[in-house]
């Protein structure tokens, strides 16, 4: 028995759908699109004599982006490097949780989440003591390794990044590995594949969506990171987020800060476009070989 949708019914359905989508659409325009438009307009203005924004039409601030070259360099260097370090630490952990652990899996997954139950600010401050003169450097000095400085360095920032963002990398990879068809691993073994070849030809390709998702989650958040560089970098390792805080709240140069923000958003949009292309490439097919 077939049902026919009359033209009037189809039109009614579309109207109802549009009406249901209207609140979320307005919310999206108000909270996402409008702020971006305001920032774009501000970026083309001038700094008022008393600070803030003054209407104008100039690209001077975009031409002066090299004044914050250090912030962009640190962000575009340490954000990808921090993402890579998170991946290198998270993948073995996610692999262990998904494929090796059985009885205590829920407990171990809970332990991965536990750090989120505490304020990110407090957890980051704790690393000041761990990396400071009375922490790891003091222990190294006891074993004969002196003059080691960790706090207020890029190394400290990277450690804070890995600690703070590791769970966001672990869970997407864990989900991909947990859904992996174990029969493929058995088939690879039956066809003569050793554990190493099975990992690179079966496990790694099938977990690629989780790797890409986790990397994007971490990388996008790191592009706007402010707290970790401010606390563990000690004002010596500036990210773009720190530059924005300085320009908007300290020097009150809103147009220049807006130009930097627009540039940062553009970089992130390019990254997201690359991410969508990768997910489209891996969606629907997997390059798995067991021979």
pLDDT in tens, 104-113: 888 888 888 8
Low-confidence ranges of the chain (pLDDT < 70): 1-8, 281-291
Spatial separation of the C-alpha atoms in residues 209 and 190, rounded to whole Å: 26
pLDDT in tens, 163-202: 999 999 999 999 999 988 888 888 887 777 788 888 888 8
Residue 221: predicted pLDDT: 93
Is the Cα dihedral 135, 136, 137, 140 positive or negative? positive
- The CA-based diameter of the chain, rounded to the nearest angstrom, is 85
Is the Cα dihedral 67, 222, 85, 121 positive or negative? positive
Give me the domains of the chain, ranges plus CATH numbers.
Answer: 68-282 (1.10.3720.10)
Closest CA to 133 of 150, 121, 145: 150
Residue 290: predicted pLDDT: 47
Residue 282: predicted pLDDT: 60
Three-state secondary structure along 146-188? CCCCCCCCHHHHHHHHHHHHHHHHHHHHHHHHHCCCHHHHHHH
Please give the full DSSP string across 193-230, using - where no structure is assigned: --HHHHIIIIIHHHTHHHHHHHHHHHHHHHHT--HHHH
In this structure, the number of other CB atoms found within 10 A of the CB of residue 127 comes to: 22
Q: What is the DSSP letter of 57?
A: -
For 118, the 3-state DSSP assignment is coil
Two tokens, residue 82: 């921090």
């Amino acid at each position: 028995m077939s049902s026919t949708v009359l033209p009037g019914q189809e039109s009614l359905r579309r109207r109802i759908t549009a009406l249901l989508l209207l609140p979320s659409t307005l919310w999206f325009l108000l909270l996402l699109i409008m702020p971006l438009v305001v920032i774009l307009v501000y970026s083309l203005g001038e700094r008022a004599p008393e600070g803030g924004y003054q209407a104008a039409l100039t690209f001077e601030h975009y031409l002066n982006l090299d004044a914050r070259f250090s912030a962009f360099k640190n962000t575009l260097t340490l954000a990808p490097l921090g993402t890579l370090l998170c991946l290198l630490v998270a993948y073995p952990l996610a692999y262990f949780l998904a494929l090796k652990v059985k009885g205590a899996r829920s407990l171990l997954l809970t332990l991965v989440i536990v750090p989120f139950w505490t304020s990110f600010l407090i957890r980051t401050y704790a690393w000041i003591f761990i990396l400071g003169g009375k922490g790891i450097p003091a222990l190294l000095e006891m074993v004969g390794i002196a003059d080691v400085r960790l706090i207020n360095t890029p190394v400290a920032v990277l450690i804070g990044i890995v600690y703070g963002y590791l769970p966001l990398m672990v869970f997407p990879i864990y989900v991909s590995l947990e859904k992996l068809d174990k029969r493929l691993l058995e088939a690879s073994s039956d066809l003569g594949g050793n554990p190493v070849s099975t990992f690179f030809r079966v496990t790694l390709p099938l977990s690629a969506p989780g790797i890409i998702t986790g990397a994007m989650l971490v990388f996008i958040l790191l592009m706007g990171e402010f707290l970790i560089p401010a606390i563990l970098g000690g004002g010596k390792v500036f990210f773009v987020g720190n530059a924005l805080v300085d320009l908007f709240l300290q020097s009150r140069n809103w147009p220049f800060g807006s130009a930097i923000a627009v540039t940062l958003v553009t970089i992130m949009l390019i990254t997201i476009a690359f991410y969508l292309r990768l997910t489209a490439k891996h969606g629907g097919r997997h390059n798995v070989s067991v021979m």
